[in-house]
Amino acid sequence: MSPFQHGEVYVTDDGTETDLDLGHYERFTAVSSGRSDNVTAGRIYQEVISTERRGGYLGRTVQVIPHVTDAIKDFILAGVSEVDFLLVEIGGTVGDIEGLPFFEAIRQLGNDLGRERVAFVHLTLVPYIETAGELKTKPTQHSVKELRSIGIQADVLLCRASMPIPDDERRKIGLFCNVRPERVIPALDLPTIYEAPLRYHEQGFDTQVLSVFGINDAPDPDLSRWRAVVERVKNPEGDVRIAVVGKYMQVKDSYKSLSEALTHGGLANNVRVRMEWIDSEIFERDDAAVYLEGVNGILVPGGFGERGTEGKICAVRFARERHVPFFGICYGLHMAVIEVARDLAGLEGAGSTEISTPRHPVIALMTEWTKGNAVETRPEGGDLGGTMRLGAYPAVLTPGSRVAEVYGTTTISERHRHRYEVNVGYTRQLGEHGLVVSGWSPDGRLPEIMEIPDHPWFIGVQFHPELKSRPLAPHPLFASFIAAAVHQSRLV
């Protein structure tokens, strides 16, 4: 998955690399997702083919209906005996060739489970034509019709619009789409996504979905915590400027969880976080100070490949020397280690084996490690796909370190997605020059967190804390980083 095409790769606790939508679901529902929560057409076809190879279909002709659709339905229904409601989202657009077997599978589910146990919610577009000053309902009508032609009648319509949809338009959509007007729910653009639960409730979305299931006596939802979040987003007490120095800056979605987590850090401190997305390559030509003077915190996020790395190292140096709060995430930690190795520890030519063949490989490939009982080997020059350290791993924090204080505990679990690690052969030397390891893998073999105790806030982590931050529970590292930025903003 290329960040340029798909946006961020979201990683779950169990190490599944998924689409960024699952991140939104986690942030809204606070339920941790996993391998059983996301499936691609590729995985379904692979499964059907291997079942066939095993003789699972006893030599019968393998077809989209029923074999592919059965595989999709089995996937949907696997392991859900404990839940009251199951939410299934089909991505893409009605009519996509890739999507057809998925639509057919949920159509069948409507029959299998009984229509009273299934609600079809269809998300459509109601574009506003600027020059005509008009909302157009045709795309919605068309897509509902398309959906009907494959056998699915939408029960509820969620209509994305940038302008309020007047009541008579709502009625018109209902009429043409064979949906009751009260089940045509406007989904307006909002200043903050966290306002969506409040606005949907106002428009009756929850009530209407429940009524499809025949539930008409549900108690009113308690939305007070969401109200508090929205109130804080809209009326902060101040703001801080955070420079995010990375590579995929044209596509903001490639750092979706990161920008959300920074916003959550702001919520925890009642400030608005102004993010300045800076392409690190700039620092390879221009003086970093021109761009970084005046920011209250610098964050170097995850990344891959050589391009822009020297620029990121410049950003680290600026933060370290100017005492600006610094947060390095994954590749950002690697850059911090290289910077300190070169500048403080006198390790000339220090670098990462991901980028070059450095004289001092302070960041290098772990060729072997264990997860549970399974030993995984990562031979150099092996496959790149599926060779990363992925998913949740525990770490043990040094008592008395800043991170132990930030987390309020010494045992944590965080999600990883990387191949390279801080080389333990250099940690003693780095520590002597101020950058100490304050979080280790439980076996003491992998540095997971490094910090400069003698700096207002300088922390680098090997994992991706942004993946676990939620608006109702901001991640402690982001809350603390923004607190440090607030403090810094009062100094200047």
| Least distance to ligand GLN, CB of residue 483, Å | 24
Please select the residue that binds ligand GLN; options are 10, 420, 458, 481, rule is CB under 6 A.
Answer: 420
The beta strand positions in 15-82, using DSSP E, are: 17-18
| Least distance to ligand GLN, CB of residue 324, Å | 21
- Give the residue with the Cβ less far from ligand GLN, 22 or 68: 22
- Give the residue with the Cβ less far from ligand GLN, 107 or 417: 417
Residue 67 binding ligand GLN, by CB under 6 A: no
Q: Which residue is nearest to ligand GLN (CB)?
A: 302
Distance CA 33, CA 24 (A): 11
177 assigned to active site: no
Footprint of ligand GLN on 318-377 (CB under 6 A): 330-331, 354
Q: Please state, as a whole number, how many other Cβ atoms lie within 10 Å of the Cβ of residue 178.
A: 11
Residue 303 binding ligand GLN, by CB under 6 A: yes
8 assigned to active site: no
Please select the residue that binds ligand GLN; options are 195, 304, 355, 470, rule is CB under 6 A.
Answer: 304
Give per-residue burial for 193-230: e unless 16+ CB within 10 Å, then b: ebbbbeebeebebbbbbebbeeeeeeeeeeeeebeebb
Residue 418 binding ligand GLN, by CB under 6 A: yes
Residue 460 binding ligand GLN, by CB under 6 A: no
Nearest to 289 by CA among 312, 322, 245: 322
DSSP state of 473: B
| Least distance to ligand GLN, CB of residue 154, Å | 39
Residue pair 326/455 in contact by the 8 Å Cβ criterion:
yes
Residue 256 binding ligand GLN, by CB under 6 A: no
- Give the residue with the Cβ less far from ligand GLN, 70 or 279: 279
- Give the residue with the Cβ less far from ligand GLN, 180 or 378: 378
- Give the residue with the Cβ less far from ligand GLN, 322 or 378: 378
Residue 313 binding ligand GLN, by CB under 6 A: no
| Least distance to ligand GLN, CB of residue 367, Å | 13
| Least distance to ligand GLN, CB of residue 417, Å | 5
What one-character-per-residue DSSP string does 287-317 give? -HHHHHTT-SEEEE----SSTTHHHHHHHHH
| Least distance to ligand GLN, CB of residue 419, Å | 4
| Least distance to ligand GLN, CB of residue 331, Å | 3
Residue 476 binding ligand GLN, by CB under 6 A: no
| Least distance to ligand GLN, CB of residue 442, Å | 20
Residue 417 binding ligand GLN, by CB under 6 A: yes
| Least distance to ligand GLN, CB of residue 415, Å | 10
The residue from 47, 264, 466, 475 that is catalytic is 466
Tokens of 321: 């020397």
In DSSP terms, which residues pair with 17 in a beta bridge? 11
Residue 419 binding ligand GLN, by CB under 6 A: yes
The stretch near ligand GLN (CB under 6 A) out of 164-172, 317-325, 377-385, 412-420 is 412-420
Nearest to 39 by CA among 80, 86, 75, 83: 75
Instruction: Please say whether the dihedral angle defined by the alpha carbons of residues 168, 169, 172 and 178, taken in this order, is positive or negative.
Output: negative
Distance CA 371, CA 178 (A): 53
Angle between helices 256-269 and 21-29 (to 10 degrees): 30
Give per-residue burial for 425-437: e unless 16+ CB within 10 Å, then b: ebbebbeeebbbb
The stretch near ligand GLN (CB under 6 A) out of 23-31, 106-114, 119-127, 302-310 is 302-310
The residue from 177, 330, 339, 354 that is catalytic is 330
Say how many Å lie between the first and final Cα of the chain, rounded: 41
β-pair type (326-329, 121-125): unpaired
Instruction: Write out the H or E segment, with its range, that includes residue 29.
Output: helix 21-29
- Give the residue with the Cβ less far from ligand GLN, 305 or 346: 305
Q: How many binding residues for ligand GLN (CB under 6 A)?
A: 10
- Give the residue with the Cβ less far from ligand GLN, 23 or 266: 23
Nearest to 327 by CA among 436, 462, 438, 206: 462
Q: Please state, as a whole number, how many other Cβ atoms lie within 10 Å of the Cβ of residue 129.
A: 9
The stretch near ligand GLN (CB under 6 A) out of 110-118, 164-172, 398-406, 415-423 is 415-423
260 assigned to active site: no
Residue pair 368/450 in contact by the 8 Å Cβ criterion:
no
Nearest to 402 by CA among 437, 444, 433, 440: 437
The stretch near ligand GLN (CB under 6 A) out of 58-66, 70-78, 254-262, 298-306 is 298-306
- Give the residue with the Cβ less far from ligand GLN, 360 or 417: 417
Residue pair 17/9 in contact by the 8 Å Cβ criterion:
yes
Summarize as ranges the residues that interact with ligand GLN (CB under 6 A): 302-304, 330-331, 354, 417-420
* Active site members: 330, 464, 466
